[in-house]
């Protein structure tokens, strides 16, 4: 346990440096996001002691090395590009070569847009940990931050809950809770991740109802 703790501490600083060097200027995918994903992953690792924590750590910090906007035409390929770049950079730093494939797989399959199934417990944990950061109070803040960058409106003026129109989360930020986020708990790869996701989704569901009550409707 002590050896692994030392190894994780050694690599944590180096991995963060790689991630920060990639930059990007996206406040929803900054170093704070990476720290939260790693914290989520640590919560999940406690339930899966057989998982390789070093693989999970590396994938958590390097999964957004290539970060394309939500509306970028090549968004679905960003995780593959991140995986390739991570493999190259980790190899140059002397990262254990027998773990490179596992790290690359976890990075490539973390993405919702890529829609690739994670085949290892490490990849499952990373995917769940990243998606958990889209839920709850921080997830809500990230939702509206991203919507603002995309030029979306907060909600439909006359029908904020989409009761009389098709939902469109590119046009209206509030729609994203139902269009995508409400589906995340059922898509979690681990039971522990699912339990956390359900609790965080409940926060978003309550917010949506409160938002609509305050928003009213255009006359």
The string of pLDDT tens digits covering residues 9-26 is 999 999 999 988 877 667
Cα 184 to Cα 210: distance, rounded to the nearest angstrom: 21
Cα 116 to Cα 109: distance, rounded to the nearest angstrom: 5
Query: Is the distance from CB of 172 to CB of 153 less than 8 angstroms?
Result: yes
CA atoms within 13 A on the CB side of 141: 7
Cα 108 to Cα 171: distance, rounded to the nearest angstrom: 28
Band of pLDDT at residue 31, cut at 50, 70 and 90 = confident
Which helix (H) or strand (E) segment holds residue 11: the answer is helix 2-22
Question: Is residue 96 helix, strand or coil?
Answer: coil
Domain boundaries, the chain: 2-122, 136-214
pLDDT at 158: 93
pLDDT at 79: 82
Distances from the Cα of 95 to the Cαs of 14, 100, 151, 156, in angstroms?
10, 8, 40, 49
Query: Is the distance from CB of 130 to CB of 63 less than 8 angstroms?
Result: yes
Query: Taking the CB of residue 135, how many other CB atoms lie within 10 A of it?
Result: 25
Q: Between these two residues, 29 and 164, which has the higher pLDDT value?
A: 164
- The domain 2-122 is placed in CATH, from the list 3.40.640.10, 1.10.630.10, 3.40.50.300, 1.10.3210.50, at 1.10.3210.50
Question: Is residue 153 helix, strand or coil?
Answer: strand
Cross-strand bridge partners of residue 153: 172
Residue 197 in tokens: 């996701």
Distances from the Cα of 175 to the Cαs of 42, 46, 84, 169, 186, in angstroms?
31, 34, 34, 5, 18
- Tell me if 2-122 shares its fold with 136-214: yes
Domain 136-214 has CATH 1.10.3210.50: yes
Tens digits of residue pLDDT in 39-86: 999 999 999 999 999 999 999 999 888 776 555 555 666 788 889 999
């Amino acid at each position: 346990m002590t050896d692994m703790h030392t190894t994780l501490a050694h690599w944590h600083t180096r991995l963060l440096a790689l991630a920060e060097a990639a930059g990007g200027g996206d406040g929803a995918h900054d170093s704070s996001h990476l720290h939260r994903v790693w914290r989520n992953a640590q919560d999940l690792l406690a339930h899966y002691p057989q998982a390789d924590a070093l693989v999970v750590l590396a994938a958590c910090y390097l999964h957004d090395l290539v970060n394309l906007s939500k509306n970028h035409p090549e968004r679905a390929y960003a995780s593959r590009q991140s995986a390739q770049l991570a493999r190259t950079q980790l190899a140059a730093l002397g990262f254990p070569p027998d773990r490179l494939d596992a790290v690359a797989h976890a990075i490539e399959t973390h993405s919702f847009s890529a829609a690739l199934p994670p085949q290892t417990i490490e990849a499952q944990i990373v995917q769940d940990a990243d998606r958990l950061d889209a839920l709850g109070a921080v997830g809500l803040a990230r939702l509206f931050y991203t919507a603002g960058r995309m030029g979306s409106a907060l909600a439909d003026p006359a029908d904020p809950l989409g009761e009389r129109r098709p939902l469109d989360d590119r046009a209206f930020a509030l729609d994203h809770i139902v269009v995508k986020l409400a589906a995340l708990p059922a898509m979690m790869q681990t039971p522990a991740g699912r339990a956390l996701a359900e609790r965080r989704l409940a926060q978003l569901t309550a917010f949506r109802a409160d938002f609509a009550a305050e928003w009213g409707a255009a006359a």
